[in-house]
Structure 1
Amino acid sequence: MPITETDIRHLRRCVELAAEALADGDEPFGSVLVDGAGAVLFEDRNRVKGGDQTRHPEFEIARWSAANMSPAERAAATVYTSGEHCPMCAAAHGWVGLGRIVYATSSAQLQGWLREWDVPAAPVAALPITDVVPGVRVDGPVDELAAEVESLHRRRFARAR
């Protein structure tokens, strides 16, 4: 599907949530769940700074949707996120049967930035969402948001040094 102005609006909110996470000392990721009619149902940001590396917003969306939405509602929903799902989050998305995923920046982009900044690789391989959940509808990256997301990650790693 082509990226729409509505998609851009929701992705901008994801980037705002990622900035909130960074301001709170966390990793800069944010996500929004939108139902089939376009209403925002749930949003969150990374909360891994306490040591629980499963506290990704996409994983929280999957858990929330499983508890609060029917299978048909989940299938009609869209998950927007500042960065492409990691394999854990992609699997959670697939297991609960959520619909379309739209991301601002890809895992490949993030991995490229991290190599450029000499940041050690994460302990989990970065895989495209469709390698984990074949058949899911995925759109992204969105070039107009890449510089802003890159800046958030650059600030994250500048703090760590």
Structure 2
Amino acid sequence: MIVRTPEPGDLPHLRRCVALARHAVKVGDEPFGSLLMLDGDVLFEDFNHVSGGDNTRHPEFAIARWAAENLSADQRRAAVVYTSGEHCPMCAAAHGWVGLGRIVYAAGAIQLLQWRREWGLDDAPVAPLPISAVAPGVVVAGPAPELIDEIRALHARAAGVELD
């Protein structure tokens, strides 16, 4: 297990993920946004699409599927996934099976669980396992303290919770 703090150069990409998460909320979905980068280029980006009833339509899962179809094994290993929220176990497994490289996230799964409990909301139906418990060989960086308040506010807004 290798967990690090995001580097300053990661922040612009994480900010883009937050913008995608903000867009997801605007269109009535949950606040998650992610992108896939290789050699400084954004190859794919997406946001949550679970509001239609398919709770597997996470952007990190879409990235894994896209990468499997469009990149070589070497390219996948060299790619970086940036995301507004730490991968759920489903997405971490997809990431590991596809053989993608480093993951950098803005807010952690345990943070989200704590916020939801603080707001009196139900826990998610899947345990908030750390990425390293599901895909132990993946290098992970997160959370990004600079973005936590903004991510928390997006989750509150999406859940209909008014913050003080």
Say yes or no: TM over 0.5.
yes
Return the structure number with greater relative CO, CA threshold 8 A, min gap 6: 2
TM-score range, shorter chain: over 0.9
Distance 1:40 1:29 in 2: 17
Percent pairwise identity: 61
Q: Which amino acid aligns with 1:100?
A: R
Distance 1:2 1:125 in 2: 23
Aligned residue for 2:26?
Answer: 23
Unaligned runs of 5+ in 2: none
Distance 2:9 2:16 in 1: 11
After TM superposition, the score normalised by the length of structure 1 is 0.96
Residue 71 (structure 2) aligned to one of 66, 69, 72: 69
4+ runs deviating over 6 angstroms: none
After TM superposition, the score normalised by the length of structure 2 is 0.94
Superposed, 1:113-152 pairs within 5 Å as 113-152=115-154
Distance 2:67 2:94 in 1: 11
Q: Is the 8 A contact 2:5 2:143 kept in 1?
A: no
Aligned residue for 2:10?
Answer: 7
RMSD over aligned CA atoms reads 1.0
Aligned residue for 1:90?
Answer: 92
Deviations 1:42-72 (A, max 9, x none): 0000001100111000000000000000000
Distance 2:101 2:155 in 1: 27
